[in-house]
Amino acid sequence: MIVQTDSVRFDSISLGGGATLGPVDVAYQSYGALNGAKSNAILVLHAFSGDAHAAGISPETGKPGWWDNMIGPGKALDTNKYFVICSNVLGGCRGTTGPSSINPATGKPFAMTFPIITIGDMVRLQRMLVEHLGIRRLLSVTGGSMGGMQALEWAVAHPEMVASAMPIATTARHSAQQIAFDEVGRQAVMADPDWANGDYYDKNLPARGLAVARMVGHITYMSDDSMREKFGRRLRNRVEFGPDFDTEFEVESYLRYRGSQFVGRFDANSYLYITKAMDYFDLANGYGSLGAALEHATARFLVISFTSDWLYPSYQSLEIVNALRSRNRDVAYCELNSNYGHDAFLVDVGEQTELVRGFLARVAREEGVQ
Amino acid sequence: MIVQTDSVRFDSISLGGGATLGPVDVAYQSYGALNGAKSNAILVLHAFSGDAHAAGISPETGKPGWWDNMIGPGKALDTNKYFVICSNVLGGCRGTTGPSSINPATGKPFAMTFPIITIGDMVRLQRMLVEHLGIRRLLSVTGGSMGGMQALEWAVAHPEMVASAMPIATTARHSAQQIAFDEVGRQAVMADPDWANGDYYDKNLPARGLAVARMVGHITYMSDDSMREKFGRRLRNRVEFGPDFDTEFEVESYLRYRGSQFVGRFDANSYLYITKAMDYFDLANGYGSLGAALEHATARFLVISFTSDWLYPSYQSLEIVNALRSRNRDVAYCELNSNYGHDAFLVDVGEQTELVRGFLARVAREEGVQ
């Protein structure tokens, strides 16, 4: 199934920080068909380095979307039943306005003059897209990692539009360790002289710094176990042991490859802005407590975490679940067994599919979706 | 107690890789007095970024040694009873010959022409030092992290000289995840243009790259819990929340500070050589299995790990213990409760002190130490 990326332009968006940004383009894809009542729409929210291409085959790259194993006919997000939308986030670099977009006031890329954005701003822009599509209420909002943060923000900030939310492998706020890993990535980018305070668009990209940042990320996305199974201590260049600087462990060449690949598809300034948005995200902000925030949510919740995910450990999902329970909200929670670490929500989708399918069927029934 | 760093020069050392390096300087400190039988010596082995200054106060910096809470009168390594030695490792940058030392053949620093070194080479040089001091048998060899690897290597490669070994928070070989973290650090250093293929000694140091590498290290040395307790989500510049690029979380400024501090005391090329030595270390190499390697050891073992140490998790200590038990070797193992992560062996030494004190008393008694 070849899918096209659509785009819509809005005159402006008012950001939570007070600034106004405009015009704003939003890149999005959709799968399945919107029903007559426009009641079968599910908004999928991508993780940090994701994009609007969640499912199907890209005509440009020939590659499947990042959640193609979850979205499609008969899959967890069944496109025979549901209309699934996914858009690139505000601040991104895959079609939606971000630091690499041209600032109409100057004719040059915004770079570091792009306004600070938050998870709340990303969600506000998604709301504009959803309303543009004529949808008044989403059957569900779902995503893993940063996508899960957006799902939580949707449920609290726009409760009347959210029938259900499925935050996966995520948190209501970054811990010190999560902030620390993000900060290392930012420092790696900014340590690269080619970053040049963000003004690199007509020059050399900060490729080395961005690659190092991505390497750190990849370690945190996998588990100790999954790295052992995938690489162990195998050498790439030869079988015989002998230490020198030329011989590579397979895990080294893998990380270098993934790091260098990332440079071709991701903007370094987007890296800075989006990680900052994640670090500043705290669902309790302005409410006093997580429970007080989630009291505003009226959605049914399905919260999922994975045993070997040490980047977004299960205790962070339990904080969300406990806060929801403390306000008598409708919540189911499952910790799924997986060795794949944080990547599990992307690659180990067997049990996740069963849970999501059952949960959505119930919500669709209760919402009267035909 | 002010301590001086001593130094001894050897004509040359034969490295495991076949090369000969010379002359070789070794920087070391010692605490307590060697008894007449020269039977009360304990060799302390430092971790990756440590040095010979393990205890007492440095006359230059006024700072205590890295294990001052473990070494001294009445402490775990009781200098009223034992003669404690600690030397900077081969390849280091704190007085022992390493990449930053002058190559006598060229009159310039070795830089990346320094030969590849292994944990085995570090231990060979330590053996030369110990024999230079007239000591034929060590009452104990001990250290945490990379120091523990050296303790294991000592016990297997030079069994006749080792009455006991206390490897702490360590492993018999690096996992894929541990190699991956080291590789990120190396890539961060080498991504800095000031690294200049290692020839930076009369120019700008690769300060930005080395600082990023150290930041990654610090995250792995702490635990999720200890970072939460120390930093949480507290902001440094102001109390009121508001996302922008100027406001820092405390954890960010801490990591930046530790990163920049490291640049002043550690050589970037030593960083590359020593992390490679750790990654290539595999106690089973040349023996076929870990059990077959440890069968050569005749020392009594005390193996210690810490519950929250996710860099050198307890299962790696248990692999050592199980291999020792499979060969009927004398081994005690304790997993100590601590929230301090890998740093626990340096900072949370209460229970560790009791274990080490009791173990050493027994070994001294059995060895007839007066």
The 3-state secondary structure of chain A reads: CECCCEEEEECCEECCCCCEECCEEEEEEEECCCCCCCCCEEEECCCCCCCCCCCCECCCCCCECCCCCCEECCCCEECCCCEEEEECCCCCCCCCCCCCCEECCCCEECHHHCCCCCHHHHHHHHHHHHHHCCCCCECEEEEECHHHHHHHHHHHHCHHHECEEEEECCCCECCHHHHHHHHHHHHHHHHCHHHHHHCCCCCCCCHHHHHHHHHHHHHHHCCHHHHHHHCCCCECCCCCCCCCCCCCEHHHHHHHHHHHHHHHHCCHHHHHHHHHHHHHCECCCCCCCHHHHHCCCCCEEEEEEECCCCCCCHHHHHHHHHHHHHCCCCEEEEEECCCCHHHHHHHCCHHHHHHHHHHHHHHHHHCCCC
Cis amide bond preceding B109, omega within 30: no
CA gap B247, B236 in Å, rounded: 7
Q: How confident is the model at residue B364 (pLDDT cuts 50, 70, 90)?
A: very high
State residue B186 phi and psi, 5-degree precision: -65, -45
Kindly state the tokens that stand for B174: 């690096």
CA gap B177, A162 in Å, rounded: 40
Kindly state the tokens that stand for A182: 């993000």
Kindly state the tokens that stand for A289: 């407590």
Q: Which of A312, A313, A306, A317 is nearest to A345 (CA)?
A: A306
Instruction: Tell me, yes or no, if A212 comes closer than 8 A to chain B by beta carbon.
Output: yes
Cross-chain CB nearest to A173 (options B233, B243, B310):
B233
ipTM: 0.94
- pLDDT average, residue stretch B251-270: 95
Task: From chain A, pick out residues whose CB is under 8 angstroms from the CB of B191.
Answer: 188, 191-192, 208-209, 211-212
Q: Would you call B245 and A276 a contact, using CB atoms and an 8 Å cutoff?
A: yes
Q: Would you call B173 and A310 a contact, using CB atoms and an 8 Å cutoff?
A: no
Whether B186 and B208 have beta carbons less than 8 Å apart is answered as no
For the entire predicted model, the pTM comes to 0.96
Q: Would you call B183 and A227 a contact, using CB atoms and an 8 Å cutoff?
A: no
Instruction: Tell me, yes or no, if A193 comes closer than 8 A to chain B by beta carbon.
Output: yes
Hey, is B293 helix, strand or coil?
helix
Instruction: Tell me, yes or no, if B244 comes closer than 8 A to chain A by beta carbon.
Output: yes
Share of chain A above pLDDT 70, in %: 98
The pLDDT assigned to A179 comes to 97
Kindly state the tokens that stand for A292: 């007080």
- pLDDT average, residue stretch A286-313: 98
| Count of A-B CB contacts under 8 Å | 156
Q: Which of B42, B45, B82, B32 is nearest to B274 (CA)?
A: B45
Report the gap between the CA of B194 and the closest CA in chain A (Å).
Answer: 10
Q: Residues A318-364: pLDDT tens digits?
A: 999 999 999 999 999 999 999 999 999 999 999 999 999 999 999 99
Instruction: Tell me, yes or no, if B116 comes closer than 8 A to chain A by beta carbon.
Output: yes
Hey, is B368 helix, strand or coil?
coil
CA gap A48, A71 in Å, rounded: 19
* Per-position DSSP letters for B262-284, written without gaps between them: HHHH--HHHHHHHHHHHHH-BTT
CA gap B11, B22 in Å, rounded: 5
Gyration radius from chain B CA atoms: 20
Cross-chain CB nearest to B188 (options A116, A212, A249):
A212
In chain B, the N- to C-terminal Cα span, in Å, equals 25
CA gap B127, B96 in Å, rounded: 14
Task: From chain B, pick out residues whose CB is under 8 angstroms from the CB of A310.
Answer: 310
Interface of B with A in 341-360 (CB under 8 A): none
Task: From chain B, pick out residues whose CB is under 8 angstroms from the CB of A192.
Answer: 191
How far are the Cα atoms of A31, A101, A146, A340, B224 from residue A77, in angstroms, in the given order? 10, 32, 19, 22, 34
Report the gap between the CA of B230 and the closest CA in chain A (Å).
Answer: 9
CA gap B268, B207 in Å, rounded: 8
The pLDDT assigned to B110 comes to 97
Q: Would you call B252 and A180 a contact, using CB atoms and an 8 Å cutoff?
A: yes
- pLDDT average, residue stretch A213-237: 94
Interface of B with A in 160-179 (CB under 8 A): 173-177, 179
The pLDDT assigned to B243 comes to 63
Instruction: Tell me, yes or no, if B366 comes closer than 8 A to chain A by beta carbon.
Output: no
In chain A, the N- to C-terminal Cα span, in Å, equals 25
Residue B152 has pLDDT above 80, yes or no: yes
Instruction: Tell me, yes or no, if B245 comes closer than 8 A to chain A by beta carbon.
Output: yes
Cross-chain CB nearest to B212 (options A184, A227, A242):
A184
How far are the Cα atoms of A1, A108, A294, A332, B307 from residue A64, in angstroms, in the given order? 9, 33, 35, 30, 41
CA gap A94, A49 in Å, rounded: 10
Instruction: Tell me, yes or no, if A330 comes closer than 8 A to chain B by beta carbon.
Output: no
CA gap B208, B191 in Å, rounded: 9
Task: From chain A, pick out residues whose CB is under 8 angstroms from the CB of B288.
Answer: none
Residue B349 has pLDDT above 70, yes or no: yes
Cross-chain CB nearest to B187 (options A17, A118, A212):
A212
Report the gap between the CA of A101 and the closest CA in chain B (Å).
Answer: 19
Q: How confident is the model at residue A370 (pLDDT cuts 50, 70, 90)?
A: confident
CA gap B206, B267 in Å, rounded: 9
Residue A36 has pLDDT above 80, yes or no: yes
